[in-house]
Amino acid sequence: MLGSVLSAVHCLPSHSISYCIDVFSTCALRNSGVIGGKFLENTRVSKPGSTIDNPVFYMVQDFAIGAVIVIFKHKFVIADTDKYVLNYMEARPEEFSTEALQALKTHHQARS
């Protein structure tokens, strides 16, 4: 069970060399106590189960549509991307699987 409220997020690699991310929640639910907007700014985030001695950080490949990520005990679902993400992936084909790139192209075509 993922929890009662999952937020859609835009996760942007703000500095690709350092693997920092920005997280913006777009799922503000009226009268629910869930507030949309900036959740996290320019921070490296370790995955659940990582240790201080051996941290495993989220990488750009972890942020596929439909992926569930956990940041500081808050669960998020990647629900959408913008054109920037598609352009980013197309410019770096060695970093992404052909399937991931094709799935994102299909997603953007369906939205249009």
- Sorted by where each begins, the domain ranges of the chain are 1-80, 83-112
Q: Convert the pLDDT of each residue in 9-54 to its tens digit.
A: 445 454 444 567 777 776 656 666 666 777 777 788 899 999 999 9
Structure tokens at 5: 């409220």
**Predicted confidence (pLDDT) per residue in 2-11, tens digit:** 333 334 444 5
Tokens of 91: 């410019």
Measured in degrees and rounded to the nearest 5, phi and psi for residue 97 equal -70, 155
What pLDDT score does 18 carry?
Answer: 57
pLDDT for position 47: 93
Q: What percent of the chain has pLDDT over 90?
A: 10
Cα-based angle 56, 74, 13 (whole degrees, multiple of 5) = 55
> What average pLDDT does the structure give for the chain?
76
